[in-house]
Amino acid sequence: MNESHLDNLPAGYVPPKVWRPKHEYGGQFGSINSPVSGARFERELPVGKHPLQLYSQGTPNGQKITILLEELLAAGYSDAEYDAWLVDIFKGDQFASGFVGVNPNAKIPALVDHSVDPVLRVFESGSILVYLAERFGAFLPTERRARTETLNWLMWQMGSAPFVGGGLGHFYAYAPMKIEYAIDRYAMEAKRQLHVLDTHLASHEYLAGNEYTIADMAVLPWYPGSLYGVYKTHEFLAVEEYQHLLRWYRAVGTRPAVARGRRVNRTSSVPGEFLRERHDASDFDTLAPEPLTG
């Protein structure tokens, strides 16, 4: 392959034989990322009054779980009451020993179910969604075809998000400089994924077909939620052109439980915008009505 027409970035950069981390990269995650996993300091996790203890932040991955919990409560599963504790990933809370004990990957969301002895830890948002859906027997169809289609879209989302969050969102919103090659590469894939959804939703009400499932709850905070919200790439990606996706977004996103779930474990300088922690259904009474955004 002839790459002589392109200069490296920074100019003259040649990857060393063995990669070693630098001390500082800049950007929003520059001082948080490390090539070594594990706890960085000692701190236990708080435990509230409900069987389900969620340790999270209201990022797209975090929203998936609070959407499902709020949907379960709205559907009458009162055992789905939960305490949602904020793990502020921008402050490094995810590296506390207690949190890493629940999720060795040190990323939100993580759940502990205290209704079983010994308590059961669940990490990876997709695993948490399946766990809760099976525990309560809701939002994951049991009929083989519908269940498989739900899991198809759930796994699709779990595999796709790194391109949007870790890829496009990172290079567009978080990186300390704008790199055209990186942004182009991830914009291309993000648009392709949006087109996959738009095409499918042209002939299906929900992702798994006629039934609203955990697949919808997993996808919505990312597509198009994160594009309007954290990453502000909606105009850049011309999200308004994906009409079928937006039809579904308006239908699912305006469900009261979805709107509630998307406001948990988030911080804001605007009073009444979000709930930093959630311990009771009445916590939402303190919030102002909110428009549908990311």
Among 40, 50, 107, 185, binds ligand GSH (CB under 6 A): 107
Among 94, 160, 213, 233, binds ligand GSH (CB under 6 A): 94
Q: Does 66 bind ligand GSH (CB under 6 A)?
A: no
Query: CA of 138: how far to CAs of 23, 69, 82, 214, 284, in Å?
Result: 47, 11, 17, 9, 23
Among 27, 30, 32, 236, binds ligand GSH (CB under 6 A): 32
**Number of amino acids touching ligand GSH (CB under 6 A):** 11
Least distance CB 8 / ligand GSH (angstroms): 27
Query: CA of 287: how far to CAs of 80, 244, 272, 273, in Å?
Result: 21, 30, 4, 6
Lay out the site mask for ligand GSH across 74-93 (x = CB under 6 A, - = otherwise): ---------------x----
Q: Can you list the positions of beta strands (E) in the chain?
A: 52-56, 82-86, 110-113, 120-123
Beta-carbon contacts of 82 under 8 Å, excluding residues fewer than 6 positions away, are: 50, 52, 53, 54, 69, 278
Among 48, 54, 58, 61, binds ligand GSH (CB under 6 A): 61
Strand partners, 84: 54, 278
Residue number, 109 or 225, with CB nearest to ligand GSH: 109
Residue number, 32 or 45, with CB nearest to ligand GSH: 32
Residue number, 94 or 233, with CB nearest to ligand GSH: 94
For residue 263, give the DSSP letter: T
Among 125, 160, 213, 265, binds ligand GSH (CB under 6 A): 125
SS3 at position 100 = helix
Least distance CB 159 / ligand GSH (angstroms): 9
Instruction: Fill in the amino acid letter for 137.
Output: G
Q: Does 108 bind ligand GSH (CB under 6 A)?
A: yes
Query: CA of 211: how far to CAs of 31, 187, 217, in Å?
Result: 43, 30, 12
C-beta of residue 38 within 8 angstroms of C-beta of residue 183: no
Specify the stretch interacting with ligand GSH by CB under 6 A; choose among 16-24, 106-114, 193-201, 255-263: 106-114
Residues that bind ligand GSH (CB under 6 A): 32, 59, 61, 89, 94, 107-109, 124-125, 158
